[in-house]
Structure 1
Amino acid sequence: MASVAKTVKQRIQDELEGLTRSERQLGSVLLQDYPMGGLQSITKLAAAAQVSTPTVIRMARKLGFDGFPALQEALREEVAAQIQKPISKRDAWIVDDETEHPITRFAQAVWTNMRHTLERLDKSMFDAVAQLLADTERHLYVVGGRITRSNADYLFNHMQIIRPNVTMLGNSANVWPQYLLDMDESSVLVIFDIRRYEAHLEKLAQVASDRGVTVVLFTDQWGSPIGKSANYTFHALVEAPSSWDSTIALQLISETLIAEVQEARWEESKERIEELERYFSTTRIFRSHEA
């Protein structure tokens, strides 16, 4: 089964409180330009962080590596994983054991993803985002990438029922500037982006952030470059025995947010749902239980 070892970024974040002032300074530099900042020479990295080279080595060991070269190797592996092509992903999961049914093997991988995602989830951030999404004074915009568009669409469909002022951005990036015109400091933009990260989504996040929009990112364990523009970032493990990544762990977070927002706005949401059902009945879109 594929490794679910923590990324270097996660190790830094986990150890932050136990680092010395110089090491925290170094950690900040590494996170600001992640992962490329850690791939430069040890002397250049030390100079950029204004620390000594022994500090770089000491911090690498605190993070669980034998030294700085081992830390860099871990970063290189992360970069390679981020740009991995679908065919390569499948090859990495090929096993000789034919005794285990494919659905069992896939389910075990997905369960591992969900378990590790939940272990690393910042619950206070989850609560803050839930509160943000429940605030109808804030116009909510949602967008996804080539693979994650279905996740974005799912969130949009449910949020639109629960609360007003929700917009799903069109599939074509050419029309996004028209949505940006209406975004301001009171807006929230939710973006789904997993490897291989999409440049047009990154640009959208940058421009939206510059306009004061609050950006919420759903991404994988390595982290989309959009994280630099995001106010809140949910990381979920996505590797599965397939040519394609699994977004089930991301969907778990998304659906829980939907449930939490509905609970926070239950009285208002109940009225909207009841009215919506009347429209469904009037237009006969769905079959009646009495039919």
Structure 2
Amino acid sequence: MSDTSPAARLQQLFEGQRLTPTQRRIAHCMVRHSGDVAFLSSVELAELAGVSQPSVTRFAVALGFDGYPALRRHLREVAPVAEPGVRETEFNEYQQAVHAEIENLRHLAEMLADPAPVERAGRLLAASRALPVLGLRAASSQARGFAYFAAKVHPDVRLIDEGGSMVADRIDAARRAGASALLCFALPRHPREVIEALDHARSRGLTVVTVADSAFAPVGAHSDLLIPAAVGTGLAFDTACAPMLLGRVLLEAMCDDLPEAQARLEEFDARAAERGLFAD
């Protein structure tokens, strides 16, 4: 425990707990503010998470503590950090958003110290003869970016970035073409049809690999392997630097298990040069 980050220790505290949606929101907030949470009052944590103060108290009790003060004492014991000298409020709102994303990337780097989940995901994606990539609404750009690059090394990538009744049809078509896995990007707010699509994919025998904003996201119970990457919430619209980077990491892991990946990239580069496709 002494070698893990405060964020990782918080994740361990929450693992295996049956939390309500409100409690998952509090847990997610605590992980995002892992460097400060041991010094926050229940009122301050409630304000950060956008919940009521009694909800924070009930959350602490659900984790097995007598109340929030006992939870905070526990955090100071198992996840000690130096009391912050510079608070976020000393930065303007734009700087705060950037610093929050830097912290999200730092958490992602700490999580990747154990590469096993990403390596497992890479094997699953590489082995899928057809590879459906799902991302709706806020997550559509993440799915589209992954699919764009994946198509350069994988022989059959199938982007699903528009909702509606055709989603199930396209999943079925991918399954008939030999798909054994589906990659999903799921970001707030989580559309119900994403959960329905994941359930449909699993009912068809596909293994669902999901990149989500939190281990406590609603899609977690509908995925076989979920890898979290937090989003920034300091601006009017969420920022998703960490999920985007995690998508590139998954691409790298998939390439490692595709024996023809390098040859396909070299072939693409040769054809691009012949066509004068790029200016540089």
Q: Choose which of 150, 157, 161 in structure 2 pairs with 1:159.
A: 150
**1:259, distance to aligned residue in structure 2 (A):** 2.1
Q: 3-state SS of the aligned residue for 2:260?
A: helix
Structure 2, gaps ≥5 residues long = 1-5, 25-58, 72-87
**1:120, distance to aligned residue in structure 2 (A):** 4.2
Aligned to 1:269: 261
Aligned 8 A contact 1:214 1:231 in 2: yes
Cα distance change on mapping 1:210 and 1:10 into 2, 3 Å: farther
**Is residue 197 from structure 1 mapped to residue 182 from structure 2 by the alignment?**
no
Cα distance change on mapping 1:209 and 1:9 into 2, 3 Å: farther
1:106-159, Cα deviation, whole Å (9 max, x unpaired): 332111112223434553211110122222x53211011211111111111111
Q: 3-state SS of the aligned residue for 1:110?
A: helix
Q: Choose which of 252, 256, 277 in structure 2 pairs with 1:259.
A: 252
**1:206, distance to aligned residue in structure 2 (A):** 0.6
TM normalised by structure 2 equals 0.66
Aligned to 2:277: 285
Aligned 8 A contact 1:141 1:190 in 2: yes
Q: 3-state SS of the aligned residue for 1:173?
A: coil
User: 2-side partners of 1:286 and 1:192: how far apart?
Assistant: 29
User: 2-side partners of 1:170 and 1:224: how far apart?
Assistant: 19
Aligned to 2:101: 110
Aligned to 1:76: none
The amino acid that maps onto 1:236 is A
Aligned to 2:13: 11
The amino acid that maps onto 1:250 is P
Aligned to 1:81: none
User: 1-side partners of 2:174 and 2:69: how far apart?
Assistant: 44
Aligned 8 A contact 1:144 1:191 in 2: yes
Aligned to 1:139: 130
Aligned 8 A contact 1:110 1:240 in 2: no
Q: Choose which of 153, 168, 188 in structure 2 pairs with 1:177.
A: 168
Cα distance change on mapping 1:264 and 1:212 into 2, 3 Å: closer
**Is residue 236 from structure 1 mapped to residue 229 from structure 2 by the alignment?**
yes
User: 2-side partners of 1:172 and 1:60: how far apart?
Assistant: 38
Aligned 8 A contact 1:155 1:258 in 2: yes
Aligned to 1:45: none
Structure 1, gaps ≥5 residues long = 17-26, 40-58, 72-94
Q: Choose which of 198, 218, 226 in structure 1 pairs with 2:219.
A: 226
Cα distance change on mapping 1:63 and 1:123 into 2, 3 Å: farther
1:81-100, Cα deviation, whole Å (9 max, x unpaired): xxxxxxxxxxxxxx864xx4
CA RMSD, aligned part only?
3.5
1:3-22, Cα deviation, whole Å (9 max, x unpaired): x9789875232xx6xxxxxx
Which one has a bigger Cα radius of gyration? 1
Bigger drift between 146-155 and 270-279 goes to 270-279
Q: 3-state SS of the aligned residue for 1:246?
A: coil
**1:211, distance to aligned residue in structure 2 (A):** 0.9
User: 1-side partners of 2:104 and 2:260: how far apart?
Assistant: 35
Aligned 8 A contact 2:138 2:189 in 1: no
**Residues 28-177 of structure 1 aligned to structure 2 (within 5 Å):** 30=18, 34-35=19-20, 63=63, 65-67=65-67, 97=90, 100=91, 104-120=95-111, 123-135=115-127, 137-177=128-168
**1:260, distance to aligned residue in structure 2 (A):** 2.7
Cα distance change on mapping 1:66 and 1:123 into 2, 3 Å: farther
Cα distance change on mapping 1:158 and 1:112 into 2, 3 Å: same
Aligned 8 A contact 2:211 2:226 in 1: yes
Aligned length: 222
Q: 3-state SS of the aligned residue for 1:138?
A: coil
Identity %: 24
1:11-61, Cα deviation, whole Å (9 max, x unpaired): 232xx6xxxxxxxxxx4xx2xxx426989xxxxxxxxxxxxxxxxxxx966
